[in-house]
Amino acid sequence: MSPETQTRPPVKLGILISGEGTNLQAIIDATRGGELRADIRLVISNRAGARGLERARLAGIAAEFIDHRRFASREEFDRNLVAVLNAHDVELVACAGFMRLLSPVMLRAFPNRIMNIHPALCPAFPGTDAQRAALDYGVRFSGCSVFFVAEGVDDGPIIAQAVVPVRQDDDEQSLAARIRAAEHRLYPHAIRLFQEGRLRVNDRKVFVGGSNQTDEQLMLINPPL
């Protein structure tokens, strides 16, 4: 654990989900394993049967189902989200498979404090079926991106990306599984950068303090040389 991780208080997290919650699980595990100092204040799902709610409860974390259909508009739903998140003293919101677009109501309440993860290298392949789109396009690499949510679909200042190779024999499932494994490492890492106070946002760009790898260390080529 780096000195920054230890000296700063745990980040007070609210996690929004709609489904399986494997990214939620990765964040819970990283917190338990000591790689991430986070206090997960609550998990909210807009779907009743989301497996992620179960995962939260099993970990002893407050979990709430809030049905978006109870609200007259997206803004009304978001106003309620803001109230619940504030009531739990949340400072950073992490969307993890949350299948709702956020309105300016949420974005204004948590400026540069809402993260999302997308299973592609943004700005490529926004929307659902990103893995299918990457395969159909024939890219040699795909991956995942964690970004600060802004208006628009799967768009916003990029915090971190992980790259995975696309293999000749991949189908949607095999590529999705490889990307998912990368997501589970990347999301806790991105949240840790926030907890360590290393993220500075300037318009579209996020500057990460304290990283200094050479071009050679960062280079990726596929097929390999």
Q: Which residues bind ligand GRF (CB under 6 A)?
A: 17, 19-24, 96-97, 117-119, 144, 180, 183
End-to-end CA distance of the chain: 35
* Beta-ladder partners of 94: 15, 115
Residues 6+ apart with CB under 8 A from 64: 42, 43, 44, 45, 84
State residue 144 phi and psi, 5-degree precision: -145, 160
Q: Please, which residue, 79 or 185, has the CB nearer to ligand GRF? A: 185
Shortest distance, CB of residue 205 to ligand GRF, whole angstroms? Answer: 22
For the question of residue 118 being annotated catalytic, the response is yes
Q: Please, which residue, 183 or 196, has the CB nearer to ligand GRF? A: 183
Shortest distance, CB of residue 180 to ligand GRF, whole angstroms? Answer: 6
By beta carbon distance, the residue nearest ligand GRF is 97
Residues 6+ apart with CB under 8 A from 210: 4, 198
Shortest distance, CB of residue 181 to ligand GRF, whole angstroms? Answer: 11
Catalytic residue, candidates 68, 88, 118, 184: 118
Q: Please, which residue, 14 or 21, has the CB nearer to ligand GRF? A: 21
Q: Where does residue 2 fall: left (phi above 0), alpha (psi -120 to 50 degrees), or beta otherwise?
A: beta
